[in-house]
Amino acid sequence: MKLSPNFLRLAFPTVLPNPAMFIPHGHKHGHKCHTMAPVAPAPPACPITKNGNTVSVGNYDITARPDGFDIVDRTTGKSIKASGDPHVSTSDGDRMQFQKDNLTFDLPNGVKITLVPTAANGDGISYLDKAAIMTRNQAVVISNIHGNPTVGDIQTNPATVDAQFADGTVLRAGGELDDLFTTGANAHELIGGDANARWGERMLDGLGGASQYRFDAAPAAIGATPAAGLPTGNVTDFGSDAFNTSIDNISSQIGSVEKELDSVMNDKNLSDTEKNAKSMKLQMKETMLIQQLQRVYDMFSNKAKTIHDAEENVIRNMRS
Instruction: Say how far apart CA 11 and CA 298 lie, in whole Å.
Output: 8
**Mean predicted confidence (pLDDT) in 128-137:** 94
Question: For residue 310, is pLDDT > 80?
Answer: no
pLDDT band per the 50, 70, 90 thresholds, residue 39: very low
pLDDT tens profile 154-200:
999 899 999 999 999 999 998 889 999 998 877 888 998 777 777 78
Q: In terms of pLDDT, which residue wins out, 274 or 146?
A: 146
Q: Which of 101, 58, 65 is nearest to 83 (CA)?
A: 65
| Residue boundaries of the structural domains of the chain | 5-23+224-319, 43-203
Decide: pTM greater than 0.75.
Answer: no
State pLDDT tens for residues 65-94.
999 999 999 999 999 999 999 999 999 999
How many Cα atoms within 13 Å fall on the side-chain side of residue 5? 6
Q: Is the pLDDT of residue 40 over 70?
A: no
Least confident of 75-79, 269-273, 310-314: 310-314
Residue 320 pLDDT: 64
Contact 95, 201 (CB under 8 A): yes
Q: Is the pLDDT of residue 10 over 60?
A: no
Rounded Cα distance, 279 and 226, in Å:
30
Least confident piece of the model among 2-6, 185-189, 282-286:
2-6
* Whole-number pLDDT of residue 305: 59
Confidence of residue 45 (pLDDT cuts 50, 70, 90): low
More confident residue, 175 or 128: 128
Query: What secondary structure, in 3-state letters, does the chain show?
Result: CCCCHHHHHHHCCCCCCCHHHCCCCEEEECCEEEECCCCCCCCCCCCEEEECCEEEECCEEEEEECCEEEEEECCCCCEEEEECCCEEEECCCCEEECCCCCEEEECCCCCEEEEEECCCCCCCCCCEEEEEEECCCCEEEEECCCCCCEECCCECCHHHHHHHCCCCEEEEECCCCCCEEECCCCCCECCCCCCCCHHHCEECCCCCCCCCCCCCCCCCCCCCCCCCCCCCCCCCCCCCHHHHHHHHHHHHHHHHHHHHHHHHHCCCCCCHHHHHHHHHHHHHHHHHHHHHHHHHHHHHHHHHHHHHHHHHHHHHHHHC
Contact 98, 116 (CB under 8 A): no
- The yes-or-no verdict on residue 19 having pLDDT over 50 is no
pLDDT at 306: 63
What average pLDDT does the chain have? 75
pLDDT score for 251: 78
Report yes or no: 283 and 217 within 8 Å, Cβ to Cβ. Answer: no
Residue 150 CA: distances (Å) to CA of 56, 153, 233, 299: 15, 10, 46, 36
Percent of the chain clearing pLDDT 90 (strictly above): 40
Quick one: 224 exposed, middle or buried, by C-beta within 10 A (0-12, 13-18, 19+)?
Answer: exposed
pLDDT, greater one: 251 or 237: 251
- What is the C-alpha separation between 107 and 179, in angstroms, rounded? 10
**pLDDT tens sequence across 54-66:** 999 989 999 999 9
